[in-house]
Amino acid sequence: SADVEFTLIQDKEGNFVLESGTLHWLNSNDTSFEYEGGSLVDQFAGAGAYPLDPSSDQITLTFDFEGEQPMFELEVSISHPTPTNGESTWTALGGLFTMWIHSTNGHQVMGGQMINQEFPEEPIGGESKHGIYYYRRAPLSELRGMETWRNLLDAQVFVRYEIYDQCSVSIIEPVENERLVFSEDADPLLEGMVEATVLPEDWGDAVYWIIPEIVGSKLTYDPEDAQGSMVEYRYEDMPSRNEQFGRKRISLHLEPSISDRCKAPDPRNVRVFFPRDATNNFDGDVPNWFYYWKQTRAAQGHGDAMIYDPACDDAYGYYVGMGNPTEKNRSVIYLCDLHSDGFIHVNPVTGQVQRGIDMFAGIVLHEWTHLENDHDWWGPRGYRPSEDRDNDRVKDDREAAYGLDPKMMDTFGLGFRDCEYPAYLQQHTWPIGSANREDWAYPGKQSGGN
C-alpha cells in the first residue's frame, strides 16, 4: 500500500505539475506452502517514506472547460525504492535441494545447497523499486473520489484520491464562547469533544489539540495524545478554587509536515462553570454557590467568617449576637438556603432587587452590618436590655442617628425590629454587578441566569 501527499504548482501552460511531496509505503508478504518432497516459505516486509522528485516523478492535473461539462485529468507516475527485509526458502527432493534469498534493507543475497554441497553466496539484483501509475479523467465534481478494479494478476486494486485548491482547517467543536458545565454527580465530571474539519481529510491525523488544564481536576484525552480531527476530553473532579473556572482557550496546532501548507485556525474561547445548586465541591456539605462565591469579592473579605446553615428555612441569613447577652460567638455570620426563593431578594426598605451573586453579597453585607452594629452599640459587654427600652436591639442613645424612635420597636411599621433598618440600608449599598466577572455558577450572571 502507498499513501502519497503532494503539492502541485501551476506552470506556464496553465497545467498543475508536481512541486513537492512524500510517498509513504508499506509492503509485506507472508506465504508458505508444502508439496510432496518440498516447501516454499516467503516472508518479506518493509516500510518507508520517499520524497518525491519532480525531475523524475510525475503528477499532473489539467482542466478542460471546452465541452458541455468541465473535466479534469489526473496522471500519476512514480517510481520509488522499496527496500525490504526477510527471506525466501525453497526446498525440494525431500530436502536434498535448498535455495534461499536473504534481504537486508533491500540488499539481497542468494545461496543454497545441493546434496549437502553449498552454493557460494552472491548478491543478486539491484535496487528494489516499485512503480505507481494512475490516470483518471472525470467531471470537476469528482475531484474527490475512489475506484477499484482487478489487475492482470487478478489482484484487487483500490485507489482513493482528494484534490483541493488549498489546505484548510477549521474548528467545529466547541463553538465560540460555549458553556461547559461540570456534572452534578458526587464525583463531578466535565466531558466533551473537540472536532475540526481538515481538508484534505487524510491530514486529520496531523492535528494536535491543546486543551487547557484546570488546577484541581484530572484531564484525560481519547486518543491519549489528543491527536486527530476528533478528540474526546474528560475532566474529573472540580477545582477547589473559584478562579479555576471561567474563560479558557482551546486551540490546535499542526505537525511540521503540513504546517507550511496549512494555517491553524484561531483558538476557540469557552467558559467553564460549576452547577450552582449541587453540593459536589471539595467540602461536600455546602452548596456550590456558597463554597465558591465566598471566595469572590461578593464575600467582601468575610469568607472565613461565614457559616452555612441548611436548617433555617424562614430567613436568608442571621447573626446570633444581636440581643443575646449570653452569646459568645459574635465573630461569624450565618447564611441560609438562598435558593429557596430562586436567588431573588427585594429590599423591603428601598425596593431594590438583588439576584444571584448580588443577592448573596447583599445578605452578607446585611448580616455583617448586624455584627458590626452589635460590636459598636454594645461593645465587649454585649447586649443590655436596660439600655434598649423598646426591645428593638438598637441602643437607645443611637436611635436618633438613624431617625428611629427609642420608644418604638418598629418605628416605620415595616414589620420588623428597628435593628433591621440600618442593615437594609447598608445592604442597598452593594454595587449591583460588581462581582459578575467572578460568577461562574450555572445558572449565574455569566451563564445566562440570575
Q: What are the cell numbers at 45?
A: 516486509
The pLDDT score that the predictor gives to residue 329 is: 80
Band (279; pLDDT cuts 50, 70, 90): very high
- Is pLDDT at 202 greater than 70 in this prediction? yes
Q: In what order do the strands lie in the sheet with 306-308?
A: 306-308, 333-335, 317-318
**For the residues 62-88, what does the mean pLDDT come to?**
90
Backbone angles phi, psi at 347, to 5 degrees: -70, 115
- Is pLDDT at 241 greater than 90 in this prediction? yes
Distance CA 270, CA 276 (A): 18
- Is pLDDT at 289 greater than 90 in this prediction? yes
Distance CA 364, CA 345 (A): 13
The pLDDT score that the predictor gives to residue 7 is: 87
- Is pLDDT at 325 greater than 70 in this prediction? no
**For the residues 81-88, what does the mean pLDDT come to?**
88
CB of 332 closer than 8 Å to CB of 367: no
Band (203; pLDDT cuts 50, 70, 90): confident
Averaged confidence pLDDT in the chain: 92
Say which residue the cell 460568577 belongs to: 439
Distance CA 182, CA 236 (A): 9
Band (209; pLDDT cuts 50, 70, 90): very high
The pLDDT score that the predictor gives to residue 313 is: 84
- Between 431 and 21, name the one with better pLDDT: 431
Domain 168-275, CATH: 2.60.40.10
If you average pLDDT over each of 162-171, 186-195, 378-387, which comes out highest? 186-195
Q: Looking at the chain, which residues constitute the CATH 2.60.40.10 domain(s)?
A: 168-275
Backbone angles phi, psi at 409, to 5 degrees: -65, -35
Query: Between helices 420-427 and 357-378, what is the axis angle to 10°?
Result: 140
- Is pLDDT at 316 greater than 90 in this prediction? yes
Q: What is the percent of the chain where pLDDT is above 70?
A: 99
CB of 425 closer than 8 Å to CB of 404: no
**For the residues 4-13, what does the mean pLDDT come to?**
89
CB of 82 closer than 8 Å to CB of 46: yes
Band (338; pLDDT cuts 50, 70, 90): very high
Distance CA 294, CA 283 (A): 13
DSSP 405: -
**For the residues 83-93, what does the mean pLDDT come to?**
89
Element (H, E) at 369: helix 357-378
Beta strand residue intervals within 316-421, DSSP E: 317-318, 333-335, 344-346, 353-355
**For the residues 280-307, what does the mean pLDDT come to?**
97
**For the residues 403-412, what does the mean pLDDT come to?**
96
Burial class (CB in 10 A: 0-12, 13-18, 19+), 158: exposed
Q: What are the cell numbers at 51?
A: 520524497
The pLDDT score that the predictor gives to residue 121 is: 86
CB of 273 closer than 8 Å to CB of 440: yes
The pLDDT score that the predictor gives to residue 229 is: 96
The pLDDT score that the predictor gives to residue 381 is: 86
Q: Evaluate if pTM is beyond 0.85.
A: no
